[in-house]
Amino acid sequence: MLQILYLSLMIFLVPGPLFCAWLELSGPLQPGTAVQLTVRDFPAGAGLRGTLDQEPFPITPQGVALLALDMEHPPKTISLEVSITPRSGPPETLTKTLTIPKRAYKEEHLKLPPKKVDLNPEDLERANRETAAITATYKLRTGRTGFEQGFRLPAEGRFSGVFGSRRILNGQPKKPHNGMDIAAPVGTPVTTIAPGTVVLAGPDYFFTGNTLIIHHGHGIISLYAHLEQMRVQEGAWLPAGTPIGTIGQTGRATGPHLHWGVLVRGARVDPISLPGIRKERE
Ligand SMILES: [Zn+2]
């Protein structure tokens, strides 16, 4: 009898969460992919903090985040945690265990003019400077967000180069292809994949030619390379679908195409995996 009394007191005295929040993912998380996380049914105004494999990630006040794993993320079991701190009442931590599979990539052999593969010291110095300017944008985290409504393709054309392929240039193994190639005639319009701020407008870079980078908030950036023309300036805020330039063959390119890269807080992801992108291929 006393035990029953004690247990029922426990029920009243030990405070449990007064809400029933849960985590929703837009798809399976794999190396080189991005998925949208939505925290559902949490109390309005609650503080949200998340970690993926112990790395903190930002969440909008509405409970939306883009989660991503780098293309070379090892296969293993990782944990997704979101802690919810309501304005009043006890906090709660939601946990999801994710099993990350191994991802295999294709090999691709390409022939290029030797001076575009074995750089002279001058070109190497210049290419390093340009690469540093590009990678500096990967460190951005703050600023207006513009990814919550999903993404769209930046150009009409043929998917000519797949994400992740191991590139062998003139017989030398190089870094894996960290983007998607869309081949189309010079002058084809290129548009923004989501709302964002132009954070880099790089003219005539050695590798990537005329290069634009747009930050969509939370460290999510899209890169548009080999452009013929760039029609926007650094600092501009652009809605989704804004024309930003045209497809070209500037920099190290074997034909007119858009190299389209996406990084989420430094993780290289397949642009085609982004929430909202059409999966169709020619
Ligand atoms: Zn490419």
What is the whole-number distance in angstroms between the Cα of residue 179 and the centre of ligand 1? 5
pTM of the model: 0.88
The per-residue pLDDT for range 209-236, each reduced to its tens digit, is 999 999 999 999 999 999 999 999 999 9
Report pLDDT for 167.
Answer: 82
Other CB atoms within a 10 A radius of the CB of residue 96 amount to 16
What is the whole-number distance in angstroms between the Cα of residue 172 and the centre of ligand 1? 17
Mean pLDDT of 181-194: 98
Amino acid found at 90: P
Q: Are strands 55-57 and 22-25 parallel, antiparallel or unpaired?
A: unpaired
What is the whole-number distance in angstroms between the Cα of residue 14 and the centre of ligand 1? 57
State what percent of residues in the chain have pLDDT above 70.
92
Q: Which domains does the chain have, with CATH numbers?
A: 2-100 (2.60.40.10), 107-273 (2.70.70.10)
What is the whole-number distance in angstroms between the Cα of residue 94 and the centre of ligand 1? 38
Other CB atoms within a 10 A radius of the CB of residue 23 amount to 18
What is the whole-number distance in angstroms between the Cα of residue 118 and the centre of ligand 1? 19
Range with the poorest average pLDDT among 14-23, 240-249, 251-260: 14-23
pLDDT of residue 9 exceeding 60, the answer is: no
SS3 202: strand
What is the whole-number distance in angstroms between the Cα of residue 205 and the centre of ligand 1? 14
What is the whole-number distance in angstroms between the Cα of residue 259 and the centre of ligand 1? 4
The per-residue pLDDT for range 248-274, each reduced to its tens digit, is 999 999 899 999 999 999 999 999 999
